[in-house]
Amino acid sequence: MIRVGAQLLSLWGRKQEETMLFVALLASVYLASVVGETDPAVDSTYVAAVYEHKIILNPNPRVPVSRHDALQHMQKNLDIYEEQAARAAQQGAQILVFPEDGIHGFNFTRSSIAGYLETIPDPQQESWNPCTEPGRYNNTEVVQRLSCMARHNNLYLVANMPDLQPCPLDTSTSSSCPPDGRWQFNTNVAFRSDGLLVARYHKQKLFFEESFDTPPELEVITFDTPFAGKFGLFICFDILFHDPAVVLVERGVRQLIFPTAWMNALPLLDSVQFHRAFSLGANVTLLAANIRNDERIMKGSGIYTPFSATYHHAWKGDPEEGRLLVARVPVLEPLGVKHNTAKEEGAGGGKFTSSVATDSGYCYQESCDDSSLDSGPSSYPTFVSSMMSDPFTFVHLNETEGDVKVCNGTFCCHLQYRWLLQDHKELYALGAFAGLHVVDGRYALQVCAIVRCAELDQSSCGQVVEEAESKMDFLLEGNFDTKYVYPSILTSRMILEQPENLEKAADGRVTMKHSNMKAGLVTACLYGRMYHLDNE
Ligand SMILES: *[C@@H]1O[C@H](CO)[C@@H](O)[C@H](O)[C@H]1NC(C)=O
Ligand SMILES: *[C@@H]1O[C@H](CO)[C@@H](O)[C@H](O)[C@H]1NC(C)=O
Ligand SMILES: *[C@@H]1O[C@H](CO)[C@@H](O)[C@H](O)[C@H]1NC(C)=O
Ligand SMILES: *[C@@H]1O[C@H](CO)[C@@H](O)[C@H](O)[C@H]1NC(C)=O
Ligand SMILES: *[C@@H]1O[C@H](CO)[C@@H](O)[C@H](O)[C@H]1NC(C)=O
């Protein structure tokens, strides 16, 4: 088992299969605030598990199937879940998370998914243990099996499945009820270790999912556990938006459960890269379970805390298979709130009851106001190249060391760098982008990124790169107009490094400092989200 706490350093210990990528680096900023203090939050730990599932798909998802056939298909995935729940329990897991779409699959139409739907009762309205009371609702085989998995293995379990809720066809009001009189939701369900259904969350930000509806009202859903207090729920694309992800964090929920079917998108939005960045930026623990499906570029799962990352990202040629990750992690208390023993709740455990609102997350250690970057040079030749479909303004990083600045409007990124190992067959650039991203979703950004360009010509800057040899020490800074900045450092072959230091100044400047990289740099990024501009 992996130990955390003042023993954080022993996270270096490897376990299980040798191909597993365990990285647990400590940012000095966090280390300083944790080790040596008698913070009860850090003394208490729990064991979390996520399962990256190689999904068995329905080969013809757009063709409707009977309930019988849909169940037969789903039972194949549930058989694997059952084996993994037992393995997780053997390793001491107290909570286990399965990925989005992991039981039914994807690419259904609104009607072809019908056989896969169950009507999941609202745990805030009634208390139901599907394993011990299977007769209460018809047509709930999947919910029942998941509940029994939690119960038989004595662990909390979160899975994702499709939910059907009948709705009133009332044409006189501006109801959001679809014309067929039912809502169909992409849904997380959470079970207590005795099988009780404790939470149900309907995905807010759908990503081109024609079989599903957006819930009529935003759902901010949490549940309590006796071993670690409160957990919040969200799903995949939700992580890029304010609701409910940031709402949860700003209400002081610091442990988030994140089933996903994440399609990797380098250089800025690979699974492990962005999930790790979210955990650091919001100062939360993220339990991220992804699908493994190479054809759809889905891979990369992890257990990310502000202090450590236990993750797996398959590399080219690795067999396409599932992967269970288990790690002991610290309980994170709501910041600025006294420790109080969490009690097991009955029905309604999914309700957000605490009125605690903290300014947790989104603030690193305050920087001393004497940033050396104030008076950097500004006139380097720039060029524009498309990265993630956005026009980034770039400057080359072709000197042995340098101090460069690149701006997009008033948003500027400033970099001091020194190569430790410069491979002249590799071109690097610093890019800045401030604006609205509009491809596959609308979201407003301010981004500073150091990238390795795919080739030696500048038009290749921003393209997908997975390997690199060059290493640099650097100080990267952006003058952000948002406090929501997600930092990440991705090195060759999908290995993460933990930034050595992160600071935020009162004026919005965010600084990430790093040195002595262990592998070649692929991307170092400060990903700022301007949530308030998403609808403009
Ligand atoms: C989903 O189905 C459509 C239509 O059959 C197909 O064109 C598309 O490639 C599929 N997408 C995925 C991700 O499988
Ligand atoms: C379940 O279905 C059976 C057969 O259709 C029906 O007799 C029974 O009333 C249903 N039970 C519930 C709880 O709806
Ligand atoms: C981040 O979380 C840790 C652990 O709860 C806490 O000690 C630290 O003060 C937090 N950092 C910030 C900047 O809020
Ligand atoms: C770096 O590139 C710039 C053009 O972007 C050029 O003016 C400069 O001479 C180059 N420096 C080196 C050391 O190659
Ligand atoms: C940012 O850069 C793009 C590409 O050069 C440009 O079209 C856009 O106007 C710039 N934004 C601002 C605010 O200057």
Q: Can you give the residue ranges of every domain in the chain?
A: 2-168+190-346, 355-533
φ, ψ of residue 524 in degrees (nearest 5): -120, 130
Candidates 100, 345, 497, 503; catalytic one? 100
Among 217-221, 349-353, 501-505, the least confident range: 349-353
Q: Which ligand is nearest to the CA of 406?
A: 5
Q: Is residue 454 a contact partner of residue 468, using CB atoms and an 8 Å limit?
A: no
Find the residues whose C-beta lies inside 6 A of ligand 5: 384, 391, 393, 408-409, 434-435
Query: Which residue has its alpha carbon closest to ligand 3 atom 9?
Result: 33
Per DSSP, 66 falls in state: -
The reported pTM is 0.88
Q: What is the mean pLDDT of residues 294-317?
A: 97
For residue 305, which ligand has an atom nearest its CA?
A: 3
Residues 244, 248: Cα–Cα separation, whole Å:
6
- The band of 381, judged by pLDDT with boundaries at 50, 70 and 90, is very high
Q: pLDDT band at 38, cuts 50/70/90?
A: very low
Q: Could you tell me the pLDDT band of residue 373, with boundaries at 50, 70 and 90?
A: low
In a 13 Å sphere around the CA of 336, the CA atoms on its Cβ side amount to: 9
Q: How far, in Å, is the centroid of ligand 1 from the Cα of 412? A: 40
460 C-alpha vs ligand 4 centroid, how far in Å? 17
Nearest CA to ligand 1 atom 3: 107
Q: What are the φ/ψ torsions at residue 70 (nearest 5 degrees)? A: -60, -45
The answer, yes or no, to whether residue 23 has pLDDT greater than 50, is no
Q: Is 203 a catalytic residue?
A: yes
Asked if residue 12 has pLDDT above 50, the reply is: no
Residue 195 has pLDDT above 80, yes or no: yes
Mean pLDDT, residues 493-505 taken together: 97
What is the CATH architecture of 2-168+190-346? Answer: 4-Layer Sandwich (3.60)
Atom of ligand 2 nearest to the CA of 137: 13
Is 295 catalytic? The answer is: no
Q: How far is the CA of 381 from the centre of ligand 4 (A)?
A: 9
Residue closest via CA to ligand 5's atom 13 equals 409
Give the per-residue pLDDT at 369.
43
What integer is the mean pLDDT of 85-110? 98
3-state class of 144 per DSSP? helix
CA 398 to ligand 4 center in whole angstroms: 6
User: Above 80 in pLDDT, residue 9?
Assistant: no
Scan for tokens 């498309």, then name that residue.
Answer: 386
- Identify which ligand lies nearest to the alpha carbon of 59: 1
What does the DSSP 8-state code read for residue 135? G
Q: Say if ligand 3 is within 6 A of residue 249 CB.
A: no
Strand partners, 521: 491
Identify the nearest ligand to the CA of 293 by its number.
Answer: 1
Which mutation among 386, 389, 392, 408 tests ligand 5's pocket best, with the greatest number of atoms within 8 A of CB?
408
Q: pLDDT of 445-481, one tens digit each?
A: 999 999 999 999 999 999 999 999 999 999 999 999 9
pLDDT at site 170: 74
Q: Beta partners for 431? A: 394, 449
Give the Å distance between the CA of 303 and the centre of ligand 3: 17
Q: Which of 293, 280, 286, 278 minimizes the C-alpha distance to 311?
A: 286
pLDDT for the residue numbered 137: 98
3-class secondary structure, 52: strand
Average pLDDT over residues 76-104: 98
Q: Which ligand is nearest to the CA of 404?
A: 4
Mutation choice for ligand 2 from 138, 143, 144, CB with most ligand atoms inside 8 A? 138
**Protein residue with its CA nearest to atom 14 in ligand 4:** 398
* Tens of pLDDT, residues 395-453: 999 999 999 999 999 999 999 999 999 999 999 999 999 999 999 999 999 999 999 99
Any atom of ligand 3 within 6 Å of the Cβ of 51: no
Q: Please give the distance, rounded to the nearest whole angstrom, from the Cα atom of residue 139 to the centre of ligand 2.
A: 9
Name the burial class of residue 78, with classes exposed (0-12), middle (13-18) and buried (19+) by CB atoms within 10 angstroms of its CB.
Answer: buried
Cβ–ligand 2 contact at 133 (below 6 Å): no
Peptide bond into 267 cis (omega under 30): yes
Beta strand 509-514 pairing with 156-166: unpaired
The conformational region for residue 216 under phi > 0 = left, psi -120 to 50 = alpha, else beta, is alpha
The verdict on whether 131 is a catalytic residue reads no
Distance from the alpha carbon of residue 320 to the mean position of ligand 1, in angstroms: 20
Of residues 97 and 26, more confidence is placed in: 97
CA atoms of 92 and 304, how far apart (whole Å): 18
Would the CB of 305 count as within 6 Å of ligand 3?
A: no
Residue nearest to atom 10 of ligand 5 (CA): 408
**Which letter does DSSP use for residue 454 in this model?**
S
Considering every ligand atom, which ligand is closest to the CA of 27?
3
Q: Does residue 121's CB lie within 6 angstroms of at least one atom of ligand 2?
A: no
Q: Whose CA is nearest to atom 14 of ligand 1?
A: 107
Question: What is the reported pLDDT for 378?
Answer: 55
The whole-chain average pLDDT of the chain stands at 87
Pocket flag, ligand 2, residue 138 (CB < 6 Å): yes
| Cα maximum dimension of the chain | 72
Distance (Å, whole) CA 355 – CA 230: 13
The confidence band for 347, taking pLDDT boundaries of 50, 70 and 90, is very low
If you measure from the C-alpha of residue 113 to the centroid of ligand 1, how many angstroms do you get, rounded to a whole number? 15
**DSSP assignment letter at 229:** E
Q: Which of 131, 148, 236, 461 is catalytic?
A: 236
Nearest atom within ligand 5 for CA of residue 410? 13
Query: In sequence order, which residues have a C-beta less than 8 Å from that of residue 489 and are 6 or more positions away?
Result: 496, 497, 498, 499, 512, 514, 517, 521, 523, 524, 525
Judge if the beta carbon of residue 62 lies within 6 A of ligand 1. Answer: yes
Q: Between the CA of residue 64 and those of 68, 97, 142, 230, 301, what are the distances in Å?
A: 12, 29, 18, 39, 31
Q: How confident is the model at residue 244 (pLDDT cuts 50, 70, 90)?
A: very high
Q: What is the pLDDT of residue 361?
A: 52
Partners of 95 in the β-ladder: 48, 156
Catalytic residue among 52, 118, 203, 405: 203
pLDDT of residue 174: 64
Question: Does 38 sit in the ligand 2 pocket, CB within 6 Å?
Answer: no
